[in-house]
Amino acid sequence: MAQTRSTCPYCGVGCGVIIDSDAGQVTGVRGDPEHPANFGRLCSKGQTLHLTAAPAVMMQVRALRPMRRAERGAPLRPVVWDAALDEVADRLASIIERDGADAVGLYLSGQLLTEDYYAFNKLAKGLIGSNNVDTNSRLCMSSAVAGYKASLGSDAVPACYDDIGLAKTVFITGSNMAWAHPVLYRRLEDARRADPAMKVIVVDPRRTETAAEADLHLQLLPGTDVVLHHAMLHLMLWEGLVDHAYIQAHTSGFDALRDRVREFSPAHAAKVCGLREADIVMAARWFASGSSSDAGRRGPTLSLWCQGLNQSSSGTDKNTTLLNLHLATGQIGQPGAGPLSLTGQPNAMGGREVGGLANLLSAHRDLANPAHRAEVAALWGLTDVPERPGKTAVEMFQAAADGEIKALWIACTNPAQSMPDQALVQRALQRCEFVVVQEAYTTAATVAFADVLLPAASWGEKEGTVTNSERRISRVRAAVPPPGQARADWQIAVDVAKRLERRLPSRRVPGSAGSMFGWADAEAVWNEHRETTRGRDLDITGLDWAGLAQPQQWPLPAGATVGAARLFGDGVFATSDGRARFHAPAWRPTAEQRDAHYPVSLTTGRWRDQWHGTTRTGTLARLQDHGGEPAVEMHPQELTRRHWAPGTLVRVKSRRGAIVLPVRPSDSVAPAQAFIAMHAPQVNQLLGSARCPQSQQPELKHSAVRIDGVSLPWQLAAAAWLPAGEALAIQQRLQPLLAACSYAHIRPIGLMGSSPEGPVGLVLHLAHTTPALAPEAVAEALGLADGAVLRYDDPRHATQRRVRVGADGRLHGFLYSGDTAAAGWLLDWLQQGQPVGGLARALLAGGALPPVARPSTGRAVCTCHGVGETAIAEVLRAAPEGNDAARLAHLQNTLACGTSCGSCLPSLKALVRQIQPVVIA
């Protein structure tokens, strides 16, 4: 048994993990108690990593061998590595020779390691001679980058995680951190317990779990953040809460800002933002003077934000106007005070460090700056690096759709799902002459467009470094060898680069010898990257590979022993004159407004237990239960008004496309608004590519839509337990069949509350106007075609029903086509493992209600212990009376829910507030 320290591959909190492995297989994972990001904690996703790495799971879904397609439309067939690499190099070289270097585009990811990123960047900018390298961080962090650079002079996050425990006021905006950054949220819970006077403000158009726990929730209208920020400053000026001495000494541009915010009174802002004036006033006071009643005392105030600000057509303005508030109150660079943007992906920061965006160069250098270009050319031994700015994500796909970009190399991201304007993206991938997809999973939607698929090593299998939200660099280590023939991403880049070096004209200074890519291992790549940081704001020349055993924050220049916890504490900023800049943008509303044709404001975001395209998290039934079937969430009043029962299929239509989804009532969205999880495979057919003019980040948080009823009389619902190690493969085999349906959903399921080794199955829900496929095909795949299967067929009504009860007297599977009203309770019975004994025949009757009433499990709440809402409600109703904390403790003692990773604590607390004990008089 071996133990390997590494990091979690999901979010930007960057938790340290210890991986247990045995005989080349991952056997367990736990939080690293010594890692300063998490001190041993993991969330529901981190804690189940080892289950996703189980061989039985991986063999069904991982890309194990290089593959190529003989022609478009033909299936992918395995080839040996050398043939795949030769083909990639040959095709790229020919296209470059024929159409120039800019005919190639590289689309990368904030989930690559810094070394992977470095190798790709050098390959594109140094070898090919094109700046067409952009990443999914363009969809994620580019507004924060543009905001920091505009206001502070460099892309440097000034604060750190410890500040959460030191702040008096925490301003959380456009972030559902209870779900998206759970372990950091646990820290906030600790801080609030330790200091009950701390004030938490949450700004979000939805009442998320994060918002529901705030002292003040500002449920603003989407896209109105700039108005709110300006109004807060207006109030601060009016009440004398700004720090004039700080403004005088360390900033410039305040006069223009003061003129700008004059028109943004809290009363005016209340109307534009859809808020109460008093709430805006309260938020401004808390922000400026901390929660202290002593008006003379300031802060400390910490801001945390994420995609609600960044993914916006005014993303940079939302960022700079928030930074204005920190600068105007001097709340920056001190313990507990400062802006702390939350990075989404585990290495979004590392990508920024090596210049992994179309407008950047290594070590926070700017492509537009001739001195910076000369520095990078010198470091790489080149005559020059190309001057022409590269294409940003949306522009890159637009250029491919227009035929300008002829080859795309996509690594570690799944644009066929995650990019906005899917019609454009699909056109681009089809028109592009040559598409290389470097992927760890065959199930990613973009694989369908690959001419060559290069199998990548993934979590637990590769070496390198990542940088988390607080500028902390951690080691990523391999615990096991990659499955099949998969290789590390940087290695694949080097394998292609060395071949290209032989084909392309050299751009190196005369007399250079050897390869530009002669690295022996990840350490060698990192050493070269470290050298590029010398003298830069992120200087890490004081750090070596061995020193990385202890995660460190940058900067850590030669001579230093520890990194800087906070930046700009001395009030000297990274601008030419050392002063931070105020910005005074006018307010621009969202690119699309609600109108008579598209009367609903749609927003999109994350679920607690799923990760983006779900290639990894989607393999585990226990991570699927909390979200369940993707749906469009609407306010309950809207469902009542339209006479829609929960689960009714509706059509959501934007100016770009339409998709069908079930509707789900949710108090968290306001009337006239709707929410769809970004994990829903089709959602980005709805979203457009309007973007922030400064950062080029698309407005993935808003689109105007209409939602209408849809008539799909033919439905099919089925679920069954399947042989161990086969469910995911069967899911993939069924997938092509489902393309014929107007609506199709399929996901793995497990037995409620069972261990990870419990039974695994699949659930399907299909709908169409007429029977879209023969139910037999599905029945066969689910083991419901023959053997001890009960049947009912009514061909006149296109009705087929199958039920299988096992020798243990429990329901093992069902299929209903035609009318599927019974599917809800049948699935519940299946997942509860209910004995059905003498009721077997009644299971074919098809009613919306079960033959005997049994409580449904309700929504899954605690993933670790498999506890659903019904059981929780039962315990809370019978609980002894007491305060909320006592009743939460009683609940945890009784059901163990929320005692492991803690990701469900906000849900549990909400239920404790909602469900009071039934008092018998």
Ligand X SMILES: Nc1nc2c(c(=O)[nH]1)N[C@H]1C(S)=C(S)[C@@H](COP(=O)(O)OP(=O)(O)OC[C@H]3O[C@@H](n4cnc5c(=O)[nH]c(N)nc54)[C@H](O)[C@@H]3O)O[C@H]1N2
Q: Shortest Cβ contact with Mo ion: which residue?
A: 344
Shortest separation between residue 11's beta carbon and ligand SF4, angstroms: 3
Is residue 735 within 8 A of residue 746, CB to CB? The reply is yes
Stretch of 12-20, 110-118, 218-226, 746-754 contacting ligand SF4, by CB under 6 A? 12-20
Give 855's strand partners.
none
Place of tokens 């400064």: 694
Closer residue to ligand SF4 in complex, CB, 485/900 = 900
Number of residues that bind ligand SF4 (CB under 6 A): 14
Give CA separation, 911 vs 192, 212, 828, in Å.
19, 11, 21
Stretch of 137-145, 451-459, 711-719, 726-734 contacting Mo ion, by CB under 5 A? 137-145
Per partner kind, with CB cut-offs from 5 to 8 A, the member of Mo ion, ligand X, ligand SF4, none near residue 413 is ligand X
Closer residue to ligand X in complex, CB, 142/541 = 142
Stretch of 339-347, 368-376, 567-575, 682-690 contacting Mo ion, by CB under 5 A? 339-347
Whether cis (ω within 30° of 0) applies to the bond prior to 555 is yes
Among positions 26, 42, 394, 676, the unique one binding ligand SF4 when judged by CB under 6 A:
42
Q: Which of 277, 276, 280, 299 is nearest to 199 (CA)?
A: 299
Per partner kind, with CB cut-offs from 5 to 8 A, the member of ligand X, ligand SF4, Mo ion, none near residue 13 is ligand SF4
Among positions 105, 147, 158, 344, the unique one binding Mo ion when judged by CB under 5 A:
344
CA gap 56, 58 in Å, rounded: 6
Is residue 745 within 8 A of residue 720, CB to CB? The reply is no
Per partner kind, with CB cut-offs from 5 to 8 A, the member of ligand X, ligand SF4, Mo ion, none near residue 465 is none
Per partner kind, with CB cut-offs from 5 to 8 A, the member of Mo ion, ligand SF4, ligand X, none near residue 8 is ligand SF4
SS3 at position 465: strand
Per partner kind, with CB cut-offs from 5 to 8 A, the member of Mo ion, ligand X, ligand SF4, none near residue 14 is ligand SF4
SS3 at position 788: coil
Among positions 8, 394, 752, 867, the unique one binding ligand SF4 when judged by CB under 6 A:
8
Shortest separation between residue 612's beta carbon and ligand SF4, angstroms: 12
Give CA separation, 542 vs 71, 546, 642, in Å.
51, 12, 64
CA gap 727, 620 in Å, rounded: 11
Give 602's strand partners.
674, 703
H/E element, 226: helix 225-238
Closer residue to ligand X in complex, CB, 111/465 = 111
Per partner kind, with CB cut-offs from 5 to 8 A, the member of Mo ion, ligand SF4, ligand X, none near residue 183 is ligand SF4
Site membership for ligand SF4, residue 607 (CB under 6 A): no
Closer residue to ligand SF4 in complex, CB, 182/761 = 182
CA gap 416, 443 in Å, rounded: 12
DSSP 8-state assignment for residue 75: P
Which are the contacts of 816, defined by CB distance < 8 A and separation ≥ 6?
Answer: 715, 716, 717, 718, 800, 801, 802, 822, 823, 826, 846
Per partner kind, with CB cut-offs from 5 to 8 A, the member of Mo ion, ligand X, ligand SF4, none near residue 458 is ligand X
Among positions 19, 26, 29, 43, the unique one binding ligand SF4 when judged by CB under 6 A:
43
x/- track of binding to ligand SF4 for residues 168-207 (CB under 6 A): -------------xxx------------------------
Closer residue to ligand X in complex, CB, 76/556 = 76
DSSP 8-state assignment for residue 64: -
Is residue 22 within 8 A of residue 354, CB to CB? The reply is no
Q: How many CA atoms lie less than 13 Å away from 450 in the CB half-sphere?
A: 32
Closer residue to ligand SF4 in complex, CB, 15/478 = 15
- What angle (nearest 5°) sits at the alpha carbon of residue 176, between those of residues 174 and 181? 120
Walk across the sheet containing 169-173 and list its strands: 216-218, 199-203, 169-173, 301-305, 338-341
Number of other residues whose CB lies within 10 A of the CB of residue 737: 18
Stretch of 43-51, 61-69, 762-770, 799-807 contacting ligand SF4, by CB under 6 A? 43-51
Which are the contacts of 900, defined by CB distance < 8 A and separation ≥ 6?
Answer: 47, 862, 864, 865
Binding site for ligand X (CB under 6 A): 11, 109, 111, 136, 139-140, 173-177, 179-180, 203-206, 208, 222-223, 225, 306-308, 311, 344-345, 411-414, 417-418, 438-441, 444, 456, 458, 489, 603-608, 610-613, 615, 678, 683-684, 687, 700-701
Per partner kind, with CB cut-offs from 5 to 8 A, the member of ligand X, Mo ion, ligand SF4, none near residue 179 is ligand X
Site membership for ligand SF4, residue 13 (CB under 6 A): yes
Per partner kind, with CB cut-offs from 5 to 8 A, the member of ligand X, Mo ion, ligand SF4, none near residue 174 is ligand X
Is residue 614 within 8 A of residue 626, CB to CB? The reply is no
H/E element, 750: strand 743-750
CA gap 121, 530 in Å, rounded: 15
Stretch of 13-21, 253-261, 328-336, 347-355 contacting ligand SF4, by CB under 6 A? 13-21
Closer residue to ligand SF4 in complex, CB, 306/652 = 306
Closer residue to ligand SF4 in complex, CB, 185/246 = 185
Q: Shortest Cβ contact with ligand SF4: which residue?
A: 46
DSSP 8-state assignment for residue 311: S
SS3 at position 556: coil
Residues 478, 484, 490, 491, Cα dihedral to 10°: 110
Among positions 4, 32, 35, 46, the unique one binding ligand SF4 when judged by CB under 6 A:
46
SS3 at position 198: coil
Give 653's strand partners.
658, 706
Among positions 4, 5, 6, 14, the unique one binding ligand SF4 when judged by CB under 6 A:
14
Shortest separation between residue 676's beta carbon and Mo ion, angstroms: 17
Among positions 5, 35, 45, 298, the unique one binding ligand SF4 when judged by CB under 6 A:
45
Is residue 85 within 8 A of residue 495, CB to CB? The reply is yes
Q: Where are the beta strands (DSSP E) in 387-527?
A: 407-411, 434-439, 452-455, 464-467, 472-476
Number of other residues whose CB lies within 10 A of the CB of residue 443: 22
Strands 301-305 and 133-135, sheet pairing: unpaired
Number of other residues whose CB lies within 10 A of the CB of residue 298: 20
CA 914 vs. chain centroid, Å, equals 29
Shortest separation between residue 679's beta carbon and ligand X, angstroms: 7
Walk across the sheet containing 16-22 and list its strands: 2-7, 16-22, 25-31
Site membership for ligand SF4, residue 10 (CB under 6 A): yes
Shortest separation between residue 525's beta carbon and ligand SF4, angstroms: 23
Shortest separation between residue 183's beta carbon and ligand SF4, angstroms: 4
Site membership for Mo ion, residue 140 (CB under 5 A): yes
CA 731 vs. chain centroid, Å, equals 24
Give 662's strand partners.
649
Site membership for ligand SF4, residue 84 (CB under 6 A): no
Per partner kind, with CB cut-offs from 5 to 8 A, the member of ligand SF4, Mo ion, ligand X, none near residue 15 is ligand SF4
Closer residue to Mo ion in complex, CB, 680/763 = 680
Among positions 5, 6, 11, 329, the unique one binding ligand SF4 when judged by CB under 6 A:
11
Task: Give the CA diameter of the chain.
Answer: 94
Shortest separation between residue 910's beta carbon and Mo ion, angstroms: 26
Closer residue to ligand SF4 in complex, CB, 185/397 = 185
Per partner kind, with CB cut-offs from 5 to 8 A, the member of ligand SF4, Mo ion, ligand X, none near residue 412 is ligand X
Among positions 5, 15, 290, 656, the unique one binding ligand SF4 when judged by CB under 6 A:
15
Place of tokens 């929780």: 872
Shortest separation between residue 46's beta carbon and ligand SF4, angstroms: 2
Which residues bind to Mo ion, rule: CB under 5 A? 140, 344
Which residues bind to ligand SF4, rule: CB under 6 A? 8, 10-11, 13-15, 38, 42-43, 45-46, 181-183
